[in-house]
Chain A
Amino acid sequence: AQSVTQLGSHVSVSEGALVLLRCNYSSSVPPYLFWYVQYPNQGLQLLLKYTSAATLVKGINGFEAEFKKSETSFHLTKPSAHMSDAAEYFCAVSDAGAQGAQKLVFGQGTRLTINP
């Protein structure tokens, strides 16, 4: 079964600094990987997804992630943090199952705090 590990439940950066949120996956097949963001009292919003087309994936709000098969990683980065980036971020892998149905397996989440 597929699984995801997010390193660091809390990350704090200064406004304008680099954001790096770490995600490692475990998958027996080429994975489909996703990053979602959740703002307080809201659902999840898709930031970006990896489906094997390109290893560097660009998403919304200036975020990007690089798929590294050798490291089984899919870290999320943003060059310059903004106060509005404060939220919880979830990495997920798609565990399609025997019938090709879909099911996302999520990491435990990383809460990002931006310091002024």
Chain B
Amino acid sequence: KAGVTQTPRYLIKTRGQQVTLSCSPISGHRSVSWYQQTPGQGLQFLFEYFSETQRNKGNFPGRFSGRQFSNSRSEMNVSTLELGDSALYLCASSLRSGGASEQFFGPGTRLTVL
């Protein structure tokens, strides 16, 4: 079974631009979560989607948004990019939502904001 895929793997943008990252979960998985990883803040939760509904949201500004499609694929969007948005963005999928569910991570998208 194919793992979680994320596209693109690398992105370079300039301040003020917007970016869309894509995540395809493992087949059959209905929950998709997004995390931001930076050297200073570590791994931080962005949001979780389950059956096209956002179920949980982390403490990030409204410039960060996401959505999930009927096939469980998910996208996240960052508008008006800032230098501090440079990070590795990780997507994780799980079979169902809930605390005990194992989350399987993709390789991430490395975003660099210049």
Contact = CB atoms under 8 A, between A and B. Distances in A.
Our verdict on whether A and B bind, yes or no, reads yes
Interface of A: 32, 34, 36, 41-46, 49, 51, 90, 92, 94-97, 99-109
Given A43-B108, A51-B100, A94-B100, A99 B43 contact: no
Interface of B: 4, 31, 33, 35, 42-45, 48, 50, 55-56, 58, 90, 92, 94, 97-108
Main secondary structure of the interface of B (DSSP, over half): strand
Contact of A99 (B33, B56, B100, B108): B56
B47 to A, nearest CB: 9
A101 B97 contact: yes
Nearest to B58: A103
Contact of A97 (B43, B56, B90, B92): B56
A30 to B, nearest CB: 10
Contacts of B35: 104
Nearest to A42: B107
B48 A101 contact: yes
A108 B42 contact: yes
Nearest to A92: B43
29 contacts: A32-B100, A36-B105, A42-B107, A43-B90, A43-B107, A44-B105, A46-B103, A92-B43, A94-B100, A96-B98, A97-B55, A97-B56, A99-B56, A100-B99, A101-B48, A101-B98, A102-B31, A102-B48, A102-B55, A102-B56, A102-B94, A102-B97, A102-B99, A103-B48, A104-B35, A104-B92, A104-B103, A109-B42, A109-B43
